Chains A and B, each alone.
Chain A
Amino acid sequence: AQSVAQPEDQVNVAEGNPLTVKCTYSVSGNPYLFWYVQYPNRGLQFLLKYITGDNLVKGSYGFEAEFNKSQTSFHLKKPSALVSDSALYFCAVRDSQTGANNLFFGTGTRLTVIP
């Protein structure tokens, strides 16, 4: 069985400060990991993914995430937050052993960047 935990419902950060949104996962095989962002009344937008290779992956809008196998984590980071980054962020996982390409999502973390 696969699962994703986003331990923080809400993260507040001042504009210009670094931000981190946490995610831990559980899968049977090797994980494929993803971050999606959801703006109000919009669908989810893909930010970045880890499939294999370098543990640090870079994505859209200056976001990056680090895969840590020993801690089963995939935290989302950005060096300097913008007010426009305020949105709902979802971590998702797919077990590489499953044939279906569907994703299992966490419950989301609402990021608020304070001007």
Chain B
Amino acid sequence: EAGVAQSPRYKIIEKRQSVAFWCNPISGHATLYWYQQILGQGPKLLIQFQNNGVVDDSQLPKDRFSAERLKGVDSTLKIQPAKLEDSAVYLCASSLQGANGELFFGEGSRLTVL
């Protein structure tokens, strides 16, 4: 079974530039999550989708971050403009609908903002 796919694995940009990350969840997983993991911290939820609808985006900095999951399958997370403090690993995860917390994570996209 294919896992959660993410790209790119690494990205280096200047502050105020934009960046986009892509995620393809496990086939059949209705729920998709984007987490931000800053070095030395635990992952923090940015946004959760159920199919193509947003369940929770309370921690998403909406002035610069956006995410979409138009067809209820893959998803993109965009940052525009990027700030130094956005340097982190962006983790995508998916789960079956109604699953009690067993999330399947991708390998992450590491962003460095200079």
* Partner-B contacts on A (CB < 8 A): 4, 32, 34, 36, 41-46, 49, 51, 90, 92, 94, 99-108
Given contacts A34-B101, A43-B4, A43-B91, contact A107 B41 (CB under 8 A): yes
**Chain B residue with Cβ nearest A6:** B42
Task: Tell me whether B99 and A101 are in contact (CB under 8 A).
Answer: yes
CA separation between A105 and B59, bound complex, in Å? 14
- The contact sample of 9 A-B pairs, CB cut-off 8 A, is A34-B101, A44-B93, A44-B105, A46-B104, A49-B100, A92-B42, A103-B103, A104-B45, A108-B42
- Which of A4, A44, A102 is the most central at the interface, judged by chain B CB atoms within 10 Å of its CB? A102
Chain A residues within an 8 Å CB radius of B108: 43
Given contacts A43-B107, A90-B43, A101-B95, list 20 more A-B pairs with CB under 8 A.
A43-B93, A45-B105, A46-B103, A49-B100, A49-B102, A99-B55, A100-B48, A100-B55, A100-B56, A101-B48, A101-B100, A102-B33, A102-B48, A103-B45, A104-B45, A105-B42, A106-B42, A107-B41, A108-B41, A108-B42
CB atoms of A43 and B100 under 8 A apart: no
What's the nearest-Cβ distance from chain B to residue A54, in Å? 15
Any chain A CB within 8 A of the CB of B40?
Answer: yes
Q: How far is the CA of A34 from the CA of B56 in the complex (A)?
A: 20
Cβ B45 vs Cβ A44 within 8 A: no
Once A90-B42, A90-B43, A108-B42 are accepted as A-B contacts, the answer to whether A101 and B105 lie under 8 Å apart by CB is no
The 4 closest A-B pairs by CB, nearest first: A105-B42, A43-B105, A44-B105, A43-B107
CA–CA, A32 and B98, complex, Å: 13
A46 and B42 in contact, given A101-B31, A102-B48 (Cβ under 8 angstroms): no
Q: Could you tell me the distance between the alpha carbons of A46 and B104 in the complex, rounded to whole angstroms?
A: 7
* Nearest neighbor of B91 in chain A, beta-carbon distance: A43
B31 to chain A, nearest CB (A): 6
Q: How far is the CB of A12 from chain B (nearest CB, A)?
A: 18
